[in-house]
Amino acid sequence: MYTARIIVLIIALGAGGIAAFLASGSNNSKPADVPVAQLQTVDVLVAKSDIGLGQSVRPEDLQWQAWPAATASNTFIRRGDRPDATTQIVGEIARIPFIAGEPIREQKLVKADGSGFMAAILPSGMRAVSTEISPETGAGGFILPNDRVDVILSKREKSAADTVNSEIILSNIRVLAIDQAPKEKDGQNAVVGKTVTLELKPEQAEALARARQSGTLSLALRSIADVNIVESNSDDQVRRRGDSVNVVRYGVSTQTTIQK
């Protein structure tokens, strides 16, 4: 009986040792590697640093960057399609600013071809016309290039009442440039535009030239949401003398005729 107990005890100890060994081995074993899905990328050309409006693209402004293939637009410049793009677009002018890391799109660039910046960015058939402004007539200095404005003509009528009539002669006009110069005000330097350059059709340019001789011009800054708005009278924005126009004053619409 005593011998049998010893044999059973030895068998139990052996089984316990084997179980402990197997348990320690399972704890030390490394878990199986979980396969990770590889994200497909393509190299696209991006701005290495900020590129301002009217700035010529330099080699140091560009770099290739991996971009998820699923979100890479067809307008992006891909290394596989144009490996020499970093040298091909050098010297082109930014018609719209780029921020660092933004993909380069040729729709936002224009080739100067030896012309100045203004001639390069001006669309075909349009004219760049400049006129003087002041903080009082230029929305307090808040108008910047690529903003949209309305041009208002104010004329003082020679009558007993000595009234001033105003009307919008050009609507939703793009600002091409603002001539800015530092000005001392209250001991601090402020930036005030003295000349604004507008993008106009030939007939609009004529109307603006006539208006400058007949009264005071002011600019009304429009919302950025109005960029893509097509004016209902876009083809008839130019007010010619003798034409009947609709003038809205204080919410009241009246018909008037531009005097010759």
Q: What pLDDT digit, counting tens, does each position of 27-83 carry?
A: 555 555 666 667 899 999 999 999 987 788 999 999 999 999 888 888 999 998 999
Residue 96: how many CA atoms within 13 Å on its side-chain side?
8
Q: What is the pLDDT of residues 226-250, one digit of tens each?
A: 766 655 444 444 444 444 444 444 3
Flag whether pLDDT at 102 surpasses 90: yes
Whole-number pLDDT of residue 44: 94
With left for phi above 0 and alpha for psi between -120 and 50, is residue 223 left, alpha or beta?
A: beta
CA 92 distance to own-chain centroid: 18
Banded model confidence at residue 224, pLDDT cuts 50, 70, 90: confident
Flag whether pLDDT at 178 surpasses 90: no
Whole-number pLDDT of residue 53: 77
Considering only CA atoms, which of 174, 190, 212 is closest in space to residue 140?
Answer: 190
Is 41-119 a domain of CATH 3.40.50.300? no
Whole-number pLDDT of residue 37: 67
CA 94 distance to own-chain centroid: 11
Q: How many residues does the chain have?
A: 260
Flag whether pLDDT at 258 surpasses 50: no
Of 7-11, 111-115, 220-224, 230-234, least confident by mean pLDDT is: 230-234
Whole-number pLDDT of residue 248: 40
Whole-number pLDDT of residue 250: 38
CA gap 106, 110 in Å, rounded: 7
The segment with the largest mean pLDDT, out of 60-69, 120-129, 187-196, is 60-69
- Give the E-state strand segments of the chain in sequence order: 41-47, 62-68, 93-94, 109-110, 127-132, 148-156, 164-185, 188-200, 216-221, 244-249, 252-257
CA gap 114, 109 in Å, rounded: 15
CA gap 152, 220 in Å, rounded: 7
Whole-number pLDDT of residue 63: 93
Is the separation of the CB atoms in 110 and 92 below 8 Å?
yes
Q: What is the pTM for the complete model shown?
A: 0.53
CA gap 148, 170 in Å, rounded: 11
Is the separation of the CB atoms in 175 and 195 below 8 Å?
no
CA gap 151, 139 in Å, rounded: 11
Whole-number pLDDT of residue 203: 93
Q: What is the mean pLDDT of residues 150-167?
A: 79
CA gap 118, 203 in Å, rounded: 20
Q: Where are the domains of the chain?
A: 41-119, 123-257
CA gap 168, 247 in Å, rounded: 8
Flag whether pLDDT at 184 surpasses 50: no
Whole-number pLDDT of residue 95: 79
Average pLDDT, the chain: 75
Report the percentage of the chain scoring pLDDT > 70: 62
Whole-number pLDDT of residue 200: 92
